[in-house]
Amino acid sequence: MRSPHWSLIQYRRSESDSTHLGVLFEDAVHALPASWPENAAQLLDEWRQWEAKLRNLDVHSLQTLTETELIAPLTYPRKIVCAGANYSDHVQEMGGTVPSVPSEPFFFLKPPSTTIVGTGSDILFPEGEGVKLDFEAELGVVIADRCQGIDAAHAMEHVAGYVVANDVSARGLFHRGDPMAPAFAWDWFAHKAFDGSCPIGPGIVPAWLVGEPQNLRITLAVNGQTKQDSSTSNLIAGIPELIAAASRHMTLEPGDLILTGTPAGVGMPRGEFLAPGDVISVEIEGLGRLENRVSLRNRSLAQL
Ligand code: MG
């Protein structure tokens, strides 16, 4: 699968080190000059100022670093907006049918500060009975600026870049058998919002390096065995439509992350779920590979 030209990453040199913004290029971490922002959130807050510098960045001139640890390329975004039911083959495998006239995109939120982990970090197995942990390979869209009520024709102007994501889901905690009223039968909180349920990475690839974001192969493997293999060309609501729809409901802000939904192949329809020790690899053409192990070990939030 085609590798990224380069991507924006965050790294640290030791457990106690602070976050640094860098560039991943030819599988090596490169430092940005000291005049650049400390982290991705700061860069995105000043995106229009830094965009021109990024477009002219000579990655060959950057200093190569060794002994670094990648962390998530974006920590503490303000929002993670997730589209559900957005690939026709996934809707069918979950027992639904795709309407001939597209309906309004369906969204839910993940808490931004505690769900994001980077490549190489463990996904903690959530607490609870009958968790049924599942994976969802997704294309993530990083928003460049504050925008509200925008139309689809102009939506792509608000994209800073793209990232590989995994919308990890606890299927067994989703449906409650004893709701006090039908409206409370579906528990999105327990299903989608647990710590570590949003791995992203390895880096954010700037939008102008991606070409056609809706024509990228997207795959997911568990322990090396392919489970999902599709293309972002199969999205029901396209990236501009998702941005426009989300921005009708709420103001989007710099660094907000929109997950665009997952294709067919998740474990749920086969009754096949993740266990501690499983390694999940998600790859999107041109964006790189995100790899995480499911773990029972305890981690503090400081390690995210
Ligand atoms: Mg999803």
Ligand 1 midpoint to CA 266 (Å) = 10
pLDDT of residue 297: 62
Ligand 1 midpoint to CA 272 (Å) = 17
Phi-psi category of residue 195: left, alpha or beta, with phi > 0 → left and psi -120 to 50 → alpha: beta
pLDDT tens-digit map of 167-225:
999 999 999 988 999 999 999 999 999 999 999 999 999 999 999 999 999 999 999 99
* Helical (H) or strand (E) element with 116: strand 116-117
CA 273 to chain CA centroid, nearest Å = 20
Ligand 1 midpoint to CA 23 (Å) = 28
pLDDT of residue 95: 87
* Confidence class for position 301, pLDDT limits 50, 70, 90: very low
Question: How much of the chain is helix, strand and coil, in % rounded to 5?
Answer: 25, 30, 45
pLDDT tens-digit map of 75-113:
999 999 999 989 988 888 888 888 888 889 999 999 999
Ion ligand 1: residues, CB < 5 A: 136, 167, 262
Ligand 1 midpoint to CA 94 (Å) = 12
pLDDT of residue 9: 98
Ligand 1 midpoint to CA 64 (Å) = 35
Ligand 1 midpoint to CA 96 (Å) = 15
Ligand 1 midpoint to CA 99 (Å) = 19
Ligand 1 midpoint to CA 267 (Å) = 13
pLDDT of residue 298: 61
Ligand 1 midpoint to CA 138 (Å) = 7
Indicate if the pLDDT at residue 302 is higher than 70. Answer: no
Share of the chain above pLDDT 90, in %: 85
Q: Are 10 and 75 in contact (CB under 8 A)?
A: yes
pLDDT tens-digit map of 217-265:
999 999 999 999 999 999 999 999 999 999 999 999 999 999 999 999 9
Ligand 1 midpoint to CA 260 (Å) = 7
Ligand 1 midpoint to CA 68 (Å) = 31
pLDDT tens-digit map of 136-172:
999 999 999 999 999 999 999 999 999 999 999 999 9
Ligand 1 midpoint to CA 239 (Å) = 14
| Residue tagged 């303000």 (tokens) | 78
Give the mean model confidence (pLDDT) for residues 26-33: 95
* Helical (H) or strand (E) element with 231: strand 225-231
Ligand 1 midpoint to CA 187 (Å) = 15
